[in-house]
Amino acid sequence: MRRDFVANASHELRTPITVISGFAEALCDQGDEKIRAPLEKIVKQTERMQQIIEDLIILARLESKASPLMHDRVDLQEVVEQVYEDALILDHGRHEIAVNVQPASIMGNRVELQMAINNLVTNAMRYTPEGGIIEVFNSVDNDGVHIGVKDNGIGIMPEHIGRLTERFYRVDPGRSREQGGTGLGLAIVKHVLDRHNASLHVQSTPGKGSVFRCDFELFDEEKKEKAA
């Protein structure tokens, strides 16, 4: 019931907020200087609300039994490269963005996986000061297949790490909001990984940086290959 309520409420809010945002933008463009500043605030806040609603709708979909996981072979090297290209556009040159790829694939849903890794990169951009280095990587070893993001940003104190995937949990709510965060990105990542039988591993040192790594199981055929 709670799940349905959140999904329905998010859908109901979508249209009125789009209307408010449309009118506010139109009024802003009309250029009455006296009311420009408050109108710009309305536009900014409605954008934030839209982002939160979109993330709540994504979470509701991921939780819904009506949308089972499509199982295709997903080339992780392609996922990393696509995420990298999107990151270059979004980042506007604020960071040095690098990739480190190996041939690897897993069974799963490409769109969901790309969304999850995109969320990790967006976080790395948000919590790494300008000029920092962000690396998108994938790798394979005896423990399984991995894909993730590494940054040399602000890092996270150990007491927060176990709670980061809770909805709306933020280490610094002010900083997250200022950077356009919804507090839902890692909850989305966790849901996508749960649907893939995978897990999120976070390693971080305050002031030095973080690694967010998604761990997938090896397929039976790959286990056999490794054993041979």
Contact (CB, 8 A) for 120 and 211: no
Q: Which two tokens stand for residue 167?
A: 């909805």
Measure the CA–CA gap between 107 and 112, rounded to whole angstroms: 12
Q: Decide: is 171 part of the binding site for ligand ADP (CB under 6 A).
A: yes
Q: Which stretch binds ligand ADP (CB under 6 A): 32-40, 70-78, 97-105, 176-184?
A: 176-184
Q: Which stretch binds ligand ADP (CB under 6 A): 110-118, 139-147, 169-177, 192-200?
A: 169-177
Give yes or no for a contact between 135 and 98, defined as CB atoms under 8 angstroms apart: yes
Please tell me whether residue 10 binds ligand ADP under the rule CB under 6 A: no
- How many residues sit in the footprint of ligand ADP (CB under 6 A)? 22
Q: Which of 56, 79, 104, 156 binds ligand ADP (CB under 6 A)?
A: 156
Pairing, β 199-205 against β 105-108: unpaired
Of 21, 153, 190, 191, the one binding ligand ADP (CB under 6 A) is: 153
Tokens of 148: 């993730």
Phi (first) and psi of residue 127, to 5 degrees: -110, 20
The binder of ligand ADP chosen from 52, 60, 74, 124 (CB under 6 A): 124
The verdict on 109 binding ligand ADP (CB under 6 A) reads no
Q: Does the footprint of ligand ADP cover residue 152 (CB under 6 A)?
A: no
**In the 8-state DSSP scheme, what is residue 217?**
P
d(CA 124, CA 151) in angstroms, rounded, equals 6
CB 133 within 8 A of CB 98: yes
Q: How far is the CB of 161 from ligand ADP (least distance, A)?
A: 9
123 near ligand ADP, rule: CB under 6 A: yes
- Tell me if 183 contacts ligand ADP by CB under 6 A: yes
In the complex, what is the shortest distance from the CB of residue 134 to ligand ADP, in angstroms, rounded to a whole number? Answer: 9
Helix ranges restricted to H, 145-184: 158-161, 173-178
Q: Which residues would be at the binding site for ligand ADP (CB under 6 A)? A: 123-124, 126-127, 151, 153-154, 156, 164, 169-172, 176, 181-187, 210
